[in-house]
Chains A and B, each alone.
Chain A
Amino acid sequence: MNTPDRSGTDDRARSHRSTARSVLLIDKLAGMGITGGGLAIILAVLGIFVFVVVEAFPLFLPPETTREVRLEGAPGDPLLVGLNEYRERAYVIGTAPEVRFFDLTDGRLLRTVPLDSLQGQRIIAAARAPARDRLALGTPDGRILLGRVVFDATYPEEGGRISTARWEPGALLDPIAGDSPIERLAYAASDEGSMLAVASRDGGFFVRVESIERSLLGAGERTIRRHDLSDRLPASITAIAVTSDATRLFVGMADGGVQVWEVDAEQADLVETFQATEDHTTPVSALAVAIGDNTVIIGAQDGSFGGWFPVEDPTAGTRVESYHNVHRFEPHGAAIVEIAPSGRDRSFFTADADGEVRLHYLTTQKTLLTVDEEPPARKLAFAPKADGWLAGRAGGPVDSYALENPHPEVSLGVLFGKVWYEGYDEPQHVWQSTGMTDEFEGKFSLIPLLFGTIKGTLYALLFAVPLALLGAIYASQFLHYRIRNVVKPSIEIMAALPSVVLGLIAGLFLAPRLEHVVPGTILIFLLTPIFALAAAIAWKTVPIRITSRFPAGTEVLLLVPVVLAGIWISQLLGPVVERLAFGGDFQHWLYDTTDQRYDQRNCIVVGFAMGFAVIPIIFTICEDALSAVPQHLISGSVACGASRWQTALHIVLPAAGSGIFSAIMIGFGRAVGETMIVLMATGNTPIMDWSIFNGMRTLSANIAVEIPEAPHRGTLYRVLFLSGFLLFTMTFILNGAAEWIRVRLRRKFGNY
């Protein structure tokens, strides 16, 4: 490191010649600084990889739940529990005619509100409208009290928030089902009306529908209608559920059947009856409707449960939809007694008769959590923001849990496997990250994007590899050195063209013109090589007087008119071919005969633009590899009488084979990550179709399109980081392997 003084023994001389202390110090410090700084920079750059992984990783973290507080609840088994969106207030309804309010932050009982109109009665059935705290409470004498819990929050000047909760009583309905005690209730209410389904102990089943027609002036006209469906049931009722828009009704029965009713103020139609359990002896024990009102979650007496939604039956051949058991789960050990769906996403809790509680997610068909605490859970409630839940337990206590489950909708199966989404007829790979409504479920399959990436890359390479490889063979083996001095910088300029420029040419110039000349364009790729071959043979018949003016390696100049002629004649012949073979219009022909739509921005366009972007890369590396083949090999071959083509094909090409392979890999890597060209030259639709006449969406373009809209650290954000990670790894491995091959190649030729 430093410079030792070896000059002699004379002390004076030494003191003269020895290095100044400060220089030594600076040298040492600088050495440390440069080492530290250099290492830090390299680590920081490599840290990109780490950061991308860290941002994507929480997608795969399992959910966590912790019990925060136990409320003493109401005496007896709880019939209904609920909480506000900040998880600060909760209410509990037991059998006594009262509503108890609790402070969830410390578990304190805040207030007990007596239900005056039910004094002296017990509550024996209770129902809550989905996603709203409107309640219906039933009594043994057949009366039903409606009402709602109103949660409010005020924000005082000094900051913070004060949550409040109060009971707002509604109508007390006269017995709907005669005097028989109410056994089960289901309730839904919206601005357009409400639906209340009532099953009484003596087998009566009634639906009370209230519809409110709003006129422009705001005065609502109310119609109330009671449907008696008692004799329409093949077996006794064991569970009821109503959709949140109060139009559809699901009735679970003791024979394991589920009836689906469409009910409004005019009529009640039985839409479908289907068998939901294993056999006719296993009753349905619980029902709930998941967010979006399409999927019904059905639990059975034997502990099995699953999600059902209407699917078009492909065998029936009609457009009739029927309910299918789409989402299946590992069954509970005992009868399902309670199902609590989330109002946020498609997760839901189930509780069985033994009191075990599990959390599931419909689409992924995964059971995320199991909580088995004493006493057994009877009633569950999901927090409105899905960040917690309540469990009302046998004998009265109510537990409040926090829930950490930020990305339930993503699993490896969702990302890479086929998933059966609501509204689809079969499991599919779907990417659709945003929708129009709040109920929309993000569909995050990376397969269409991977497919698009590979598709675009392959078409690009199909175009680029022949041109670049053949061009490199010519440039390295045959090209006149003077022309080479022009060609190489031109290729470098080609490499330097910003991809946004290529995308522009492809999308704005090429795509609209190409659609009229597809056959002519395909002809170019056939005719031009034939023209080149023919020109070579014709050249041999030209008198030597002329040919001698063009030394070997200047054929490219002669080829300029040949290639141009190839293109021109192809364009001339294009319409002729189009008329003869495709009836005059290629696009119509394509659609009529193969049922493929011709997209204006398709893979021909992308292949050309992206091919253009990778040609210089493949060309340069191939050319380097071919030029690196030692001259004495070539000389030897030529000396043995081989022609220059034979030498190139049999000696040079095999020797540089691995270099060419690595060039193609690097070209592949570049095409995989290309963003702007794909963004501009394709329609960016995530479809899975190999056709060259339509587009695709690639991983990289997808990131560019979606990340500006992705909420920070949301599911989409993390999925995009995951696709970034995939891109990073793919290109890193491709480039690394290519680099390794090149190093080996260099070593190989070093040994000659």
Chain B
Amino acid sequence: MAAHPRRKTPSLRVRRDAPVWVQAIRRGDPFVWLTGSALTASMLMIVGILLLIIVNGMGSMWPKELVRIETDEGTPFLGQIERRETIPGYVEEGGGGERFLMRIANRDLYGIDFRWFDESEVVAREKPEDALVAERLEWGPFNGFLVELRLPGETIAADGIWDRFQREIDAAHDRYGRIEEVEEEEVGRINEEIESARLAIREIELEGIADTPEGRRRIAALREEVDRWTAEYEQLRERLGELRRADEEYRVVLRSVRGEVRDYAISHIVRAYRPNEMGIPGKVGIYLSRLWEFVSQDPRESNTEGGIFPAIFGTVLMTLIMTIAVVPLGVLAALYLREYAKQGPIVSAVRIAVNNLAGVPSIVFGLFGLGFFAYLVGGAIDSTFYPERLPSPTFGGGGLLWASLTLALLTVPVVIVATEEALAAVPTGIREGSIACGASKFQTVTRIVLPSAAPGIMTGAILAMARGAGEVAPLMITGVVKLAPELPLDGTFPYLHLERKFMHLGFHIYDVGFQSPNVEAAKPMVYATTLLLILIVVLLNLTAIIVRNKLRDKYKTGAFG
């Protein structure tokens, strides 16, 4: 790399009479273009990846048209064509042709969702106008045709059936929503009462007063309470059963392309549409309804369908708690390093060490979080405050709090570095002015220095959030799960449940994309989730970049102020 310039001097001479391109080579222009191509390639990769995710993420919810094909064996299939590829393998052995992947759905009938078809085995194809896709709560979508509606007291098979079907779906959703509400709220409440009574009994036993008359009286009272709640629970279950049975009376009969006829409770149909006869507005409608479901609903079918609301919620809450923890810590440390510590070799060494921490692999922080927070601190909390729940851990395993704190540690260098930079950028003149006016150092720091450094600190906080929101590896081992039964924030005391495990967008991507039993069906969800995560992270970063650039301009002009 460091060739001695003097030896190279003769080659610098370019003969004027040589052709233009020889001169260009001599002058090294092609190499400039070569370096340029590296930059171009890098930029193209960024654009390519972003485009890939945007197209796949946004396109995944667009309703695709249904194609009916017939194979040379005479079997008909109805489905959406997902993608095509060239058949691999030696040409002699049948490679080289085209094949396509079709979502034939109806998993309850066929056992599989997706099937590859060689182009050569397809003998006929058409797009039947009245083919429908019915997305179900269970078993994925149903591709087929509408036969009739069986409602209490009437059976509809004539004209207008499609509109009636759509209206009945809406009505069924209202009914079903009410049932679910009762289930969630009432049953949840009763379960909680029973659990708390059970824990109270255990606590009395642990205190060792179970044999005293007082203890026995209290236990008896608690047992009675449990019985009362159990009885109430039975009643409620009966009522729910009735509601369910009533709901199940509304049924729809569907026919698959091979003629199998099935009937389903209408409330179990999420939505139904006929993609082949739909215009663009109708498709947009379906698209928006799917999008809304995606961001607002719980996942279904082992995370391959439904929404990702709990993951969004978990990510946001975790990032917030992390930010609350990391900003004061980082600012305090930066204040010390920049304003209070005596600048010298030790402080520079500390600074380098803190900088280096940003380069330590995140999984090491995860190890620390698990070993220190969850096992050590959490274990101590459990044995002190929740002995009645042992051996099942409360704080002694991964959870929201520990994951947030782990990420706070991971991101604290980001905040320290950004804050230090911001503090350093505050002109000395301002400080001296403040001191000269008689303010104490603390007053100067809190009223002059910190406010002017605030945008810089904010940049650091936003960068930390962006880093935290996108980090997955340490969370995997400190409290993120693939499916959390409850949100960490709800209506029962103490409202914010820091010990609960939670869902996270990044982990959701990993889990659904790589651990799911039905990866092909999960792909739309994965890409959509990825798009959402990238949007969050990129928006946070862009904000930070803009704030920082504004800041730079401000100090550029104010440097001599």
Contacts and interface: CB of A to CB of B under 8 A. Distances in A.
Interface string A17-39: 10100011011001100110111
Nearest to A612: B45
Interface string A124-164: 00000000000000000000000000000000000000000
A537 B534 contact: no
Contacts of B513: 504, 507-508, 680
B412 A556 contact: no
Interface in B352-372: 352-357, 359-368, 370-372
A740 B345 CA distance: 13
Interface string A607-628: 0000010010001000000000
Given A498-B471, A504-B509, A724-B364, A535 B95 contact: no
Nearest to B466: A496
A497 interface: yes
Given A504-B526, A673-B362, 7 more contacts: A34-B335, A474-B39, A501-B534, A536-B29, A556-B40, A645-B31, A654-B2
24 contacts: A3-B439, A31-B442, A35-B341, A37-B333, A45-B354, A45-B409, A48-B409, A52-B368, A470-B39, A478-B36, A500-B470, A502-B49, A507-B514, A516-B85, A528-B41, A529-B34, A532-B36, A540-B23, A556-B36, A644-B32, A645-B29, A669-B359, A673-B363, A721-B371
Contact of B38 (A30, A471, A643): A471
Contact of B366 (A654, A704, A728): A704
Interface stretch (A194-202, A323-331, A559-567): A559-567
Contacts of B509: 500-501, 504
Nearest to B30: A536
Contact of A707 (B20, B352, B367): B367
A615 to B, nearest CB: 6
A735 B355 contact: yes
B30 A533 contact: yes
Interface stretch (B121-129, B159-167, B488-496, B537-545): B537-545
Nearest to A38: B336
Contacts of A88: none
Given A23-B440, A500-B506, A560 B40 contact: yes
Given A494-B46, A533-B34, A55 B371 contact: yes
B410 to A, nearest CB: 10
Given A497-B49, A559-B33, A732-B360, A707 B89 contact: no
Contact of B27 (A19, A497, A643, A734): A643
B91 interface: yes
A666 B359 contact: yes
A588 B90 contact: yes
A630 interface: no
A720 interface: yes
Q: What is the interface residue range for chain B against chain A? A: 35 or more
Given A492-B541, A503-B510, A556-B39, A38 B362 contact: no
B438 interface: yes
A584 interface: yes
Interface string A444-478: 00000000000000000000001111110111001
B356 A34 contact: no
Interface string B458-474: 00000000110111110
A653 interface: yes
A641 interface: yes
A720 B537 CA distance: 30
B443 A475 contact: no
A583 interface: yes
A315 B79 CA distance: 60
A649 B356 contact: no
B233 interface: no
Interface in A1-21: 1-3, 17, 19
B362 A735 contact: no
B381 to A, nearest CB: 15
B435 interface: yes
Contact of A559 (B40, B442, B514): B40
A303 B335 CA distance: 68
A674 interface: yes
B86 A499 contact: no
A504 B441 CA distance: 51
B361 A704 contact: no
Contacts of A473: 35
Nearest to B23: A540
A585 interface: yes
B551 to A, nearest CB: 15
B41 A515 contact: no
A677 to B, nearest CB: 10
B412 A499 contact: no
A224 interface: no
A564 B48 CA distance: 11
From B35, B477, B537, name the one whose CB has the most chain A CB atoms within 10 angstroms: B35
Interface residues of A, number: 125
A385 interface: no
Contacts of A727: 360-361, 363-364
From B440, B514, B523, name the one whose CB has the most chain A CB atoms within 10 angstroms: B440
A700 B36 contact: no
Contacts of A649: 28, 31
Contacts of A41: 329-330, 332-333, 336, 412
A430 interface: no
A46 interface: yes
B337 interface: yes
Given A31-B442, A38-B337, A536-B24, A673 B29 contact: no
B32 A474 contact: yes
B12 A641 contact: yes
A492 B471 CA distance: 16
B280 interface: no
A470 B38 contact: yes
A92 interface: no
B265 to A, nearest CB: 35
Given A479-B39, A540-B20, A731-B360, A707 B32 contact: no
A410 interface: no
B88 interface: yes
Given A501-B53, A536-B30, A556-B36, A45 B357 contact: yes
Contacts of A673: 359-364
Given A38-B336, A727-B363, A493 B541 contact: yes
Contacts of B560: none
Nearest to A23: B440
Given A470-B39, A643-B28, A27 B53 contact: no
A556 B361 CA distance: 34
A752 interface: no
A368 interface: no
Contact of A48 (B29, B339, B365): B365
A669 B359 CA distance: 7
B537 A700 contact: no
B533 interface: yes
Given A680-B510, A732-B360, A508 B526 contact: yes
B43 interface: yes
A546 interface: no
Contact of B37 (A562, A584, A653): A562
B415 to A, nearest CB: 10
B510 A679 contact: yes
Given A51-B371, A55-B371, A644-B32, A46 B353 contact: yes
Contacts of A735: 355-356, 359
Given A555-B32, A650-B5, A17 B341 contact: no
Contacts of A27: 440-443
B52 interface: yes
Contacts of B364: 48, 52, 673, 703, 724, 727-728
A360 B34 CA distance: 63
Given A584-B95, A680-B514, A467 B38 contact: yes
A215 interface: no
B90 to A, nearest CB: 5
